[in-house]
Amino acid sequence: QKEVEQDPGPLSVPEGAIVSLNCTYSNSAFQYFMWYRQYSRKGPELLMYTYSSGNKEDGRFTAQVDKSSKYISLFIRDSQPSDSATYLCAMNDSWGKFQFGAGTQVVVTP
Amino acid sequence: NAGVTQTPKFQVLKTGQSMTLQCAQDMNHEYMSWYRQDPGMGLRLIHYSVGAGITDQGEVPNGYNVSRSTTEDFPLRLLSAAPSQTSVYFCASSYSLPTSGSRRTDTQYFGPGTRLTVL
């Protein structure tokens, strides 16, 4: 069983809708949680970085972490066609063990 | 800054051939790593380095070798290519081993990738 589970999608939403993405994990040692965005045929780029449980906002993006449920989420408000990409969750522990989710493909239609 | 660069962008090998994927960064990052990305599997860590002369294995190291003689370069060698190594390979770097809890030092910057096909 994978330590990090993420629905691969694709997730298709109309422009302006809220995109909701999530990952579950099984390793309670994970402390740092990230969301990366990857456009087709490009390398991933970091979107959000969180350390503790709770919410973190950055513009149209909100990351949520619930350590008690081992569940993290990313919300994209007012989605745009330029948000169409694959979103990968990632997490690591204090010893450097790093795990990525499989990625969710998001398509925002005009 | 060029960031993280990878060469080649595309490569086709025959089974049993060897080759080296090049990775370089100009950000003076100590931590560098190699990942492979396969459909439905996400990014999986092959090898990583926390500084010149120091390397260690990741999740899927078999069939790959690395060395780190300088801070800037971190080449990945395929010893005897197999069809199972067909994948997209990404090199990444960050200021330090991504465990500090600081976005500035933990952020991994990825290269554009190398698409490898082994026939």
Q: Is the distance from CB of A88 to CB of A103 less than 8 angstroms?
A: yes
A-chain residue closest to B10, CA distance: A41
Q: What is the pLDDT of residue B96?
A: 79
Measured between its terminal Cα atoms, the distance across chain B in Å is 36
| Residue B71, token pair as written in the block | 């801070």
Question: 10 Å Cβ neighbour count for B28?
Answer: 10
| Residue A35, token pair as written in the block | 């969301």
Question: Could you identify the residue written with the tokens 């996400």?
Answer: B42
Q: What is the pLDDT of residue B111?
A: 96
Average predicted confidence (pLDDT) for chain B: 92
Instruction: Tell me the CA distances in angstroms from A104 to A10, A19, A100, one per residue in order.
Output: 6, 11, 11
Question: Minimal Cα–Cα distance from A4 to chain B, Å?
Answer: 10
Q: Can you tell me the mean pLDDT for B1-25? A: 95
pLDDT digits (tens, 9 = 90+) for A31-87: 889 999 999 999 999 999 988 788 999 999 999 999 999 999 999 999 999 999 999
Instruction: Tell me the CA distances in angstroms from A34 to A63, B33, B109, one per residue in order.
Output: 9, 17, 13
Please enumerate residues of A whose Cβ is less than 8 A from a Cβ of B: 4, 6, 8, 31-32, 41-46, 49, 51, 88, 90, 92-96, 98, 100-103
Q: What is the pLDDT of residue A102?
A: 92
Give the rounded percent of residues in chain B with a pLDDT score beyond 70: 97
Top-confidence residue, B41 or A95: B41
Q: Is 80 exceeded by the pLDDT of residue B51?
A: yes
Q: What DSSP assignment string belongs to B14-48?
A: -TT--EEEEEEESS--SEEEEEEEETTTEEEEEEE
Ranked by mean pLDDT, which of A10-19, A50-59, B49-58, B98-107 comes out on top?
A10-19
| Residue A81, token pair as written in the block | 């066609």
pLDDT digits (tens, 9 = 90+) for B93-113: 988 777 777 777 778 899 999
Rounded Cα–Cα distance for residues B23 and B32 (Å): 9
Residue of A30, A37, A98 best to disrupt the B interface, most CBs of B under 10 A: A98
B44 touches chain A (CB under 8 A): yes
Rounded Cα–Cα distance for residues B110 and A41 (Å): 12
Nearest to A46 among B35, B107, B112 (CB): B107
Q: Is the distance from CB of B49 to CB of B66 less than 8 angstroms?
A: yes
Question: Minimal Cα–Cα distance from A60 to chain B, Å?
Answer: 19
Q: Which of A5-9, B10-14, B20-24 is predicted with the least confidence, judged by mean pLDDT?
A: A5-9
pLDDT range class, residue A96, cuts 50, 70, 90: low
A10 upstream amide cis, omega within 30 of 0: yes
Q: Can you tell me the mean pLDDT for B69-73? A: 96
Top-confidence residue, A83 or A92: A83
Q: Can you tell me the mean pLDDT for B32-52? A: 91
Q: Can you tell me the mean pLDDT for A89-97? A: 80
Q: Is the distance from CB of A19 to CB of A106 less than 8 angstroms?
A: yes
